Structure 1
């Protein structure tokens, strides 16, 4: 059991909020441990509101941004500061570190600190990257396979810390001091405690993710006209111009409190607690609101992906576009962000209006058949993972089918729960798909699924060959020593198999998550001991093969079950033993 734990989180405020369940889980699992959080100084005020911490260590590299010194002096000074900061941490003798950052700087920090147990992004003695813990390995493969990921960042952080998925939500310390901090603001704005208050967070860290100011202004006017709502505009100083556009475009400025750039974190928390709803892009403010149980209406465009960074809470909704290119790849800068046009102010106001009157998210008739808009409601599944259910039913596509299959497979294998999925777990997938998607003879992607399943079968054979060649290489080395011609020939066969695996992943995106995980595991290889490296290679192939077989089995079950349901409703019992899994 760990006694001295360091958590390194040097990203954005939203990521800080999202790591609070991990910290709470570590406290439950290691009740006597000392837990230290290392964070950028710019987020100090919020970090001090994170519960279960024993110490906060601030990293202040930005203090050197505005110096007028020459370039050489800046780097020397910066290096001295960095070494002194790291030496201070090293002296604390941590026995466990969880790195929630994903920069090479953070990886080098972890290496320098020489902490016995590391989780997350780090590097080896040569400075090459490696990733410790299966869930963090998955985390670094996900950006290239976003269509097939359904795990929220909070769940990934928790599993990476070996924390069981216990639904407690995000954590932020709040109390009377927040109310006191906003007393003058409330009085100045004339906000009554009985009024319907709706918050608006129009900015975001990436401009392409923002719903237009004109759309927000229209929504504000609709909410004021139809519900006599009071509106609070939130944001940081850099977003003040955006807030002014909304304020200036509204027909009811007297009903709007423009607090953009005018609140501390404590005041932000206090004002959010006064809101019944927050309409927001994908922002840190959204995650704070989720921690405060404010109902969230999220707007996710461009790179924003609700499954990754949606609110870790129950009963919130997310609007997004249902178009093939959404969400954008992280490597893409879109010159025509058409996804933003799919969500109109009347759509958002209609959902809020229904919730005000019924307390439920109910889709009005005029929105039920919008082919290019998705509407998702957040909740937690039977195992405690965050899950989004679609409120608008669309035809089932192959990406969704594979995404749900991967969700089951990764949960079983990354935590080494079981080798094969249970019948009940596969039935749960089919129930989810039947309930929330349109599945009929005209749109079920049967042919495409069968083709991909055939390619998966080929991939399983390829990986099995790799495992056997690795075993052969170890056998040859044990029996003959370094038989160069024989060892070289077997090594070339392994290289050829690995190239074929990479080609399969690039050719068939549905299979690429498996292939990327294989690559990520191989990055952790260290040393020059041939027998040791061959053994690690064999183990990588073995895990790949188990995961691929499991995915093959799940896809087969889903397909047979749904096709059977389509042919004759009521005869839905299908035994997994009828699935022809290669090698079984």
Structure 2
């Protein structure tokens, strides 16, 4: 039996977004092993039952009261287990210190992605090139496709997640993501939820999130009329992974910022209505597959870098506050959409998931389509003779080593 190891040591949403790579490798006949942070082991076992899951303590959530004295022996044992397995390939997806330590256990010729060679950190040529595309974040590709392109013969994007369809179980609401500026304040979010509820009459509302969102959920409830508040269940901090999956899988709609639960909904085929602002941009991290809608804040400073201060008083939040915003949620008519917002719906194309404009503006559409064709030719999906050449893109994105060393475009 051929075996591969995927090392995905980041967080909830990233684990779900590894799905296309996992399915691709499984279709190629590999037994897929998956190494994740200890806090995500149960989730990984549920959503990827075909994988052999290994757990590491990579984040603080997995550290017990004994601190590092418990981490080192636990991780050492896992390292030894992984080292003793004869993997044909190791897909190391992250560039954290833990990932590099783990990559050092294996023959570097077997490691794809991030690795150490003779003590130096090395990035796979595809990741090196794709990282340069992030200089044009509006035109970047979905993170799911970024990771999957490390493997040849990717499965079609339409085979990754189900086409989104209402489940009949009401409306789910995720209050906040990991990055605070990407989230809508409860007083801004409340009228949008009520507007969606007006279309889906007599539907229950479920507030989802971690225990830290419980109080935010209570504040949100205070903005609801009593007739709707009685049909609202605050599940923040009250669901384990299995219960969260059961709840999300039955929803008609999930209203959310860019969150892990959003990606879980896409995995389950639950329609997403996403609110993207600040550093979130739908072409990079929007829900994967067909049938999801993103309302994207679009300003000259969008998307920003979350770790840097906002010098524009978070102006990307302002359109969501306008009274017409709730009206748009109810009607989905372009004339009701506030200035500064664009609406995109997810589709699948030759490369992966792409977002198509439905209302507002998409100033970089032509540029993004050309970059997608450029990437398609590099990956061998499209014929360079038919779609190329791309002199201006090659000049911007290629370095000398891309021509000197082997690349998919030249092979």
Q: TM-score, normalised by structure 2?
A: 0.86
Give yes or no for the alignment of 1:388 onto 2:359.
no
Going from structure 1 to structure 2, the CA distance change for 1:121 and 1:194 (only over 3 Å counts) comes to closer
Match of 1:412 in 2: 377
Give the paired residue count.
Answer: 402
Q: 2:220, 2:61 → 1: CA distance?
A: 34
Q: 1:194, 1:142 → 2: CA distance?
A: 37
Secondary structure of 1:113 counterpart: coil
Q: Is the 8 A contact 1:219 1:345 kept in 2?
A: no
Deviation at 1:18, TM superposition (A): 1.0
The higher-RCO structure (CA 8 Å, 6+ apart) is 2
Q: 2:160, 2:379 → 1: CA distance?
A: 24
Q: How does 1:124-139 map to 2 (within 5 A)?
A: 124-126=117-119, 128-134=120-126, 136-139=127-130
Q: Is the 8 A contact 2:63 2:71 kept in 1?
A: no
RMSD of aligned residue pairs (Cα, Å): 3.2
Q: 1:35, 1:143 → 2: CA distance?
A: 29
Q: Is the 8 A contact 2:188 2:320 kept in 1?
A: no
Match of 1:153 in 2: 143
Q: 2:167, 2:81 → 1: CA distance?
A: 51
Q: 1:86, 1:302 → 2: CA distance?
A: 38
Q: 2:167, 2:23 → 1: CA distance?
A: 34
Deviation at 1:163, TM superposition (A): 3.5
Deviations 1:34-60 (A, max 9, x none): 211111110122101133634111112
Deviation at 1:109, TM superposition (A): 1.3
Match of 1:466 in 2: none
Going from structure 1 to structure 2, the CA distance change for 1:55 and 1:68 (only over 3 Å counts) comes to closer
Deviation at 1:277, TM superposition (A): 0.7
Q: Is the 8 A contact 1:17 1:288 kept in 2?
A: yes
Q: Which shows bigger deviation, 330-339 or 285-294?
A: 330-339
Please, which of 173, 189, 197 is the counterpart of residue 216 of structure 1? 189
Secondary structure of 2:105 counterpart: helix
Match of 1:260 in 2: 236
Give yes or no for the alignment of 1:317 onto 2:293.
yes
Match of 1:235 in 2: 209
Q: Is the 8 A contact 2:195 2:327 kept in 1?
A: no
Deviation at 1:278, TM superposition (A): 0.7
Q: 1:380, 1:230 → 2: CA distance?
A: 31
Q: Is the 8 A contact 2:158 2:290 kept in 1?
A: no
Match of 2:303 in 1: 327
Q: 2:143, 2:194 → 1: CA distance?
A: 34
Deviation at 1:353, TM superposition (A): 3.3
Q: 1:164, 1:66 → 2: CA distance?
A: 39
Going from structure 1 to structure 2, the CA distance change for 1:11 and 1:349 (only over 3 Å counts) comes to same
Q: Is the 8 A contact 1:35 1:52 kept in 2?
A: no
Going from structure 1 to structure 2, the CA distance change for 1:518 and 1:347 (only over 3 Å counts) comes to farther
Please, which of 39, 44, 48 is the counterpart of residue 45 of structure 2? 48
Q: Is the 8 A contact 1:319 1:373 kept in 2?
A: yes
Match of 1:450 in 2: none
Q: Is the 8 A contact 1:20 1:50 kept in 2?
A: no
Going from structure 1 to structure 2, the CA distance change for 1:93 and 1:297 (only over 3 Å counts) comes to same
Deviation at 1:411, TM superposition (A): 1.3
Match of 1:561 in 2: none
Match of 1:353 in 2: 330
Going from structure 1 to structure 2, the CA distance change for 1:51 and 1:168 (only over 3 Å counts) comes to farther
Larger CA Rg, structure 1 vs 2: 1
Q: 2:180, 2:61 → 1: CA distance?
A: 26
Deviations 1:421-459 (A, max 9, x none): 438x99xxxxxxxxxxxxxxxxxxxxxxxxxx9xx49x9
Q: 2:168, 2:76 → 1: CA distance?
A: 53
Please, which of 343, 366, 370 is the counterpart of residue 336 of structure 2? 366
Q: 2:223, 2:82 → 1: CA distance?
A: 51
Match of 2:399 in 1: 518
Match of 1:531 in 2: none
Going from structure 1 to structure 2, the CA distance change for 1:400 and 1:194 (only over 3 Å counts) comes to closer
Q: TM-score, normalised by structure 1?
A: 0.62
Match of 1:244 in 2: 218
Match of 2:344 in 1: 376
Q: Is the 8 A contact 1:38 1:59 kept in 2?
A: yes
Q: 1:419, 1:400 → 2: CA distance?
A: 21
Deviation at 1:343, TM superposition (A): 2.2
Going by fraction, where is helix more abundant, 1 or 2?
1
Match of 1:3 in 2: 2
Q: 2:51, 2:135 → 1: CA distance?
A: 36
Q: 1:246, 1:28 → 2: CA distance?
A: 45
Q: Which shows bigger deviation, 223-232 or 291-300?
A: 223-232
Please, which of 95, 100, 115 is the counterpart of residue 93 of structure 2? 100
Q: 2:73, 2:135 → 1: CA distance?
A: 36
Going from structure 1 to structure 2, the CA distance change for 1:202 and 1:77 (only over 3 Å counts) comes to closer
Please, which of 273, 277, 280 is the counterpart of residue 301 of structure 1? 277
Provide structure 2 residue ranges, at least 5 long, that are not aligned to the other structure: none
Deviation at 1:8, TM superposition (A): 0.5
Q: 2:176, 2:335 → 1: CA distance?
A: 30
